[in-house]
Amino acid sequence: MDISGVQTTAIAANVGQNDAVGISVLKKAMDIQKQSALQLIASIPAPQGNTGQNINVKV
């Protein structure tokens, strides 16, 4: 009885499962980074007064 095909199938299934776990961890990490970036952007204060409307150049 040849069982080499069974071992190969089991190894392939295990690799596929490890890849799926790695991808889900990566997606979770990217979601956390996205939330952190959005919080940082939201924490930037709005410009006050006439900031950015005039350019003062002195030589």
pLDDT, tens digit, for every residue of 13-56? 666 777 888 889 999 999 999 999 999 999 998 877 776 677 76
| Per-residue pLDDT at 1 | 47
Query: What's the pTM value of the predicted model, to 2 decimals?
Result: 0.53
Q: Cβ atoms within 10 A of the Cβ of 14, count? A: 10
> Mean per-residue pLDDT for 4-9?
58
SS3 content of the chain, % helix, strand, coil (to 5): 65, 0, 35
